[in-house]
Structure 1
Amino acid sequence: MGTFSKFLGVSAAVLMLSASVAGAEEKDPLKPRVPADQIAEAKAMKNPVASSPESIAKGKALFEGKGTCFNCHGKEGKGDGPAGAILNPSPRNFTNCKFHKKRKDGELFWVIKNGSPGTGMVSLIPAAITEEEAWTIINYERSFCKGDE
């Protein structure tokens, strides 16, 4: 079998594997991702970046750029980004208003900083973004909730 044929075979296998896990349900969307022994401290953290149209716009630029969040979470925050399609469970759906009501900013920050075991979420601080940029991204992530669910 030629190199190109092998490549096509591997590509087809990857696509089939992707299709088999694509769309896997988000794992426990309301369950905290912060370990029990650290959750009180995380919940107590307050976002030092005020939510404003300017910080939300900056957060959007970071989410879609330097932070690379859109790769997994999608440009509309639904957890349907191109890289997220192969993850099981699927990435967090930030349009889920129930999630936003249940989780504090400090919990979201903890996950951005430390990653989330059992999911595809990896630590982004300081590898990709600063702590201040993470808080700014959280302001943008919160803007995905448009309803009163």
Structure 2
Amino acid sequence: MRVVRCVGMGVLCVVVLVWQEAAAFHPSIYAPRVPEGELERIQEMESPFRERQEYVDKGAKIYFGKGECVTCHSNDGTGVKLPGHQPRDFTDAKWQDLRTDGELMWVLENGSPGTGMPIRVGTVITKDEGWWVIQFIRAYRGARKEN
């Protein structure tokens, strides 16, 4: 009886852990990462930098360098294939159209709960550098090649 109880508890623990991990993931890759109460305000946030190639180039240096974005999001922006919640595919035009620059900055400042996306702004890059990375990420829009 004791063995059965121990096995049962072990199975229950595994189920709970798997459920918690699955619940942490977002139901859709298109779902906003910003909490509902903050979303409208964050969506209205705009970059202080006008779109310029100079900032795209600076963003690329950070993406491939100290920002370490390339580690998960790959050279071509499609995201490295990892178990669990996949890193964002920046070539996805639908995702690019749905997400505002303010939302992207929020993720850089707060990470993306339920995913492996860490906080970047304030830890390894500045807020200005974050805005430049966002301009670089926008350059991936529509780069996806459909099979």
Smaller-chain TM-score bracket:
0.7 to 0.9
SS at match of 1:72: helix
| Alpha-carbon shift at residue 87 of structure 1 (Å) | 4.5
Q: Whole-Å Cα distance in 1 between the matches of residues 83 and 49 of structure 2? A: 31
Does the alignment pair 1:119 with 2:85?
A: no
| 78 and 147 in structure 1: CA distance in 2 versus 1, 3 angstrom threshold | closer
Q: How does 1:1-149 map to 2 (within 5 A)?
A: 28-80=28-80, 85-146=81-142
Q: Percent identity?
A: 37
Q: Can you give the 5+ residue segments of structure 2 that lack an aligned partner in the other structure?
A: 1-25
Q: Whole-Å Cα distance in 1 between the matches of residues 48 and 64 of structure 2? A: 21
| 75 and 101 in structure 1: CA distance in 2 versus 1, 3 angstrom threshold | same
Counterpart AA for 2:61: A
SS at match of 2:47: coil
Q: Whole-Å Cα distance in 1 between the matches of residues 105 and 140 of structure 2? A: 17
Q: Whole-Å Cα distance in 1 between the matches of residues 105 and 68 of structure 2? A: 16
Give the TM-score normalised by the residue count of structure 1: 0.75
Q: Whole-Å Cα distance in 2 between the matches of residues 120 and 37 of structure 1? A: 23
Q: Specify the structure having the higher radius of gyration (Cα).
A: 2
Give the TM-score normalised by the residue count of structure 2: 0.76
SS at match of 1:138: helix
Q: Is the 1:87–1:120 Cα contact (8 Å) retained in structure 2?
A: no
Q: Whole-Å Cα distance in 2 between the matches of residues 64 and 87 of structure 1? A: 22
| Alpha-carbon shift at residue 86 of structure 1 (Å) | 3.4
Number of positions where the alignment pairs a residue of Structure 1 with one of Structure 2: 120
The list of structure 1 runs, each at least 4 consecutive aligned residues, that deviate by more than 4 angstroms after superposition, is none
